[in-house]
Amino acid sequence: MAASGYPTAAASAVWQQLMAEQDATAIGRGQKVRHVYRSGFFDSHPTELSRATYLAAAAGKTPGGTDARAAEYRAALAPYLPRLLAAQIRMNDFGGSDFILGALADERGWTGELLFARGELYRARGNPRDLQMASIWYRDAKAAGYAAPELDRGLGLALLRNGRTEDAREALAAYLAARPDASDARMIQALLAN
């Protein structure tokens, strides 16, 4: 890593990020956060904490470069990010998914794409307060320039579950106008007919 110009501390940061995501998953599921400090007799690999500690110490001895090439990485990942975020949300890991969205937002700000994904996450969990927050994030995503028709679908479904029928109808009708051949068009039409 040092020879390539990458910051050598990035190796440790990967494991630290993984542990923080695992913590968020555990908290989201109401479980105790648990870090294993040493490997068991039958373990074939060191623990995440051991790896992070060892790699941080090694990075201190060999500093390496300062360019993590994050901008290039983000540009290469950009076409796939919507599908990756949608797959993450389908994992039913609210704490971990919200952590990942927050980490991405810390890096690049709350873009329309990230706000939409957060709206989808909260709508999927479906608590009454979550549905209100989802509606806000969908609107913020639209204000940030996110224009995918699925935004109107998510907004309409969240508003419908919040009892805001007229606003929901408007959003769902906009979705159907943009995607008349959507796989869920019949279901949305049935919701609008009621």
Sole residue written with tokens 């695992």: 22
Predicted local distance difference test score (pLDDT) of residue 84: 96
Q: pTM for the complete prediction? A: 0.84
| Three-state DSSP string of the chain | CCCCCCECHHHHHHHHHHHHHHHHHHHHCCCCCCCCCCCCCCCCCCCHHHHHHHHHHHHHHCCECCCCCHHHHHHHHHHHHHHHHHHHHHCCCHHHHHHHHHHHHHHHCCCHHHHHHHHHHHHHHCCHHHHHHHHHHHHHHHHCCCCCHHHHHHHHHHHHHCCCHHHHHHHHHHHHHHCCCCCCHHHHHHHHHC
Measured between alpha carbons, how far is 143 from 137 in angstroms, rounded to an integer? 10
Domains of the chain in start order, with CATH, are 9-61 (no CATH), 70-193 (1.25.40.10)
pLDDT one-digit tens code per residue, 133-183: 999 999 999 999 999 999 999 999 999 999 999 999 999 999 999 999 999
Q: Give the confidence band of 42 by pLDDT, cuts at 50, 70, 90.
A: low
Question: Which pLDDT does position 132 carry in this prediction?
Answer: 96
CA–CA gap between residue 52 and residue 47 (Å, rounded): 9
> For 20-29, 56-65, 185-194, which range has the lowest pLDDT when averaged over its residues?
56-65
pLDDT digits (tens, 9 = 90+) for 48-87: 878 888 888 888 888 788 877 888 988 999 999 999 999 9
**Bridge partner residues of 7 (DSSP):** 64
Contacts 24+ apart (CB under 8 A), 57-64: 58/8, 58/11, 59/7, 59/8, 59/9, 59/11, 59/12, 62/2, 62/8, 63/2, 63/7, 63/8, 64/1, 64/2, 64/3, 64/4, 64/5, 64/6, 64/7, 64/8, 64/9
Is 26 or 66 the better-scoring residue by pLDDT? 26
Residue 157: CB atoms within 10 A of its CB come to: 24
* pLDDT tier at 11, thresholds 50, 70, 90: confident
